[in-house]
Amino acid sequence: MTIKSSSRKQVIIPMNANNSEAIILQESTHISNINRLLKGMKSEILADFICSNNKGVVIMTNKAAATSDLSIIRKYIKGVNNMDLENMSCH
């Protein structure tokens, strides 16, 4: 799910607590990798930071993400080592 307001844009990725923790522990690495992939696809979207909540992780971006941007982020997160892919989706 993408939420858009005047000051915040969010990509919400539902996942279990173990996966959220794994993402947050290496947040800066994941932000760098996501931005590199988005830049490679000539996207104007940049990930600013990642935070977690009780339902998964939230990736804050500079603009609202298009479907293609969501796909890139989803593929990256699913490709992260040791992710339990059973209950993961990207909206």
Of 7-21, 27-41, 74-88, the poorest mean pLDDT is in 74-88
- Which tokens is 17 given? 């607590």
How much is the pTM?
A: 0.79
How are the residues of the chain apportioned to helix, strand and coil, as percentages rounded to the nearest 5?
45, 25, 35
| Mean pLDDT computed over 57-85 | 84
pLDDT band per the 50, 70, 90 thresholds, residue 22: confident
Number of Cβ within a 10 Å radius of residue 4:
11
Taking a C-beta distance cutoff of 8 angstroms, is the pair 83, 17 a contact?
Answer: no
Whether pLDDT at 40 is above 90? yes
